[in-house]
Amino acid sequence: MTSDSDGVAHQPAARPASRLTHGVVSFLVLAGLIVAGVLVGAATGSSGQALGDVVASLGHYARLDTPDASPTDIIVWNVRVPRILLALLVGTNLAVAGVLLQGIMRNPLASPGIIGVTVGAALFASLAILGVPEQLGWAWLSTLSLPLLAFVGALLATLLVYIMSWQPGIGTSPTRMILAGVAVTAMLGAAQSFLAVYFADRIQGVVLWLSGSLNARSWNHLPMIWPFTVLGLSIAALIARPLNLLQLGEDSAASLGTNVQRVRVWAIVAAALLTASAVCVAGVIGFVGLVVPHIIRTAVTRNHAALIPAAALGGAALVVWSDVLARQLSEMPVGILTALIGGPYFVFLLYRKKLI
């Protein structure tokens, strides 16, 4: 307790401690949601197993190659665990990509799905799956892996948005980038529709994939995403402080020693890597990169050093629980469920920003 010159006693401010406690509690809640989602996801499927048997099987991975491996062990480790891990990584990637894009644009409406990153990755991945490069005589493109082709598509879409929003002598602005992103998303979506018509005889599998599903995913899909997750998260961690300074405005950030354009480039590269790899293994799962960062920023913290890991946990929890619900609804695509959640939330944001 302290006193001023008039002898009036004052209690010391406790806001920093309460803020820290709130942050710790938020992280624990998010981690708890993930743990619960993993356990429920491991116990959810067409063949019913008791939760106790599933929990016991989670400790039996070393027994899978032995004759005493139970059917529950095999189902849990060969079918459900890889699907759960992919759901966690996809949610992490999309949420962190949303944090990065919202940070550099200083706009809560920015997300991989809104500014064209997702559809760019999906378009190039679709071209590869349909064998279009070979038909055009560009067989060398087939030597690139699907994640790299999707990354190229995501990066080109983002670059197009950047070019369209650029004004000589002024540069870009968050509002122009959002508007350009909507236009690019519409154009690339039209190209995707053209593919659906032109390749109508073999587009069915691609259409199901584009709807955003984790059905029939296996351990073979993990190498398509986890290296890009590690790389993208590493870049995000390195630019967390410059992103905080960027929230003060470009001029203020530059006066404090931040290279604004460099931060934007690295954030765009990381967002493209994270989004492209998520699209490769799960198709188009929308609104995770919009809803999760905005909720975490409002409810937990605005400091990107804590916002990035918190959003990663939030995105992982959202997708893993959406996938659990999707399995209960006859393998409904996860992308449909996240759209049912994110669509109304996007309208709410538009009303809150008085844009509609």
Percent over 90 (pLDDT), the chain: 34
- Give the tens place of pLDDT for each residue, 119-150: 999 998 888 778 766 666 665 555 456 778 88
pLDDT at residue 319, as a whole number: 96
pLDDT at residue 279, as a whole number: 92
pLDDT at residue 8, as a whole number: 47
Rounded (5°) CA angle 133-134-140: 75
pLDDT at residue 166, as a whole number: 80
Percent over 70 (pLDDT), the chain: 84
State how far the alpha carbon of 265 is from the alpha carbons of 23, 315, 338, in Å: 30, 23, 28
Q: Which residues of 59-88 are buried (b: 16+ CB within 10 A; e: fewer)?
A: ebeeeeeeeebeebbebbbebbbbbbbbbb
Record the pTM.
0.87
Structure tokens at 247: 């929230």
Question: CATH topology for 82-352?
Answer: ABC transporter involved in vitamin B12 uptake, BtuC (1.10.3470)
- Give the tens place of pLDDT for each residue, 284-325: 898 999 999 989 998 888 999 999 999 999 999 999 999 999
pLDDT at residue 14, as a whole number: 46
Question: In whole angstroms, what is the distance from residue 322 CA to residue 326 CA?
Answer: 6
- Give the tens place of pLDDT for each residue, 39-80: 999 888 766 666 777 777 777 665 666 666 777 778 888 889
- Give the tens place of pLDDT for each residue, 147-200: 788 888 998 998 898 888 887 777 667 678 888 888 999 999 899 888 878 887
**Which residues, in sequence order, are CB contacts of 8 under 8 Å at separation 6+?**
none
* The dihedral sign for the CA sequence 74, 80, 86, 88: negative
Structure tokens at 196: 């659906």
pLDDT at residue 27, as a whole number: 92
pLDDT bracket for residue 12 (50, 70, 90): very low
Q: Using only C-alpha atoms, what is the Rg of the chain?
A: 22
Question: Mean pLDDT throughout 246-260?
Answer: 88
Shortest CA distance to 200 belongs to which of 123, 130, 266, 270?
A: 130
DSSP 11: P
Q: In the predicted model, what is the mean pLDDT of the chain?
A: 83
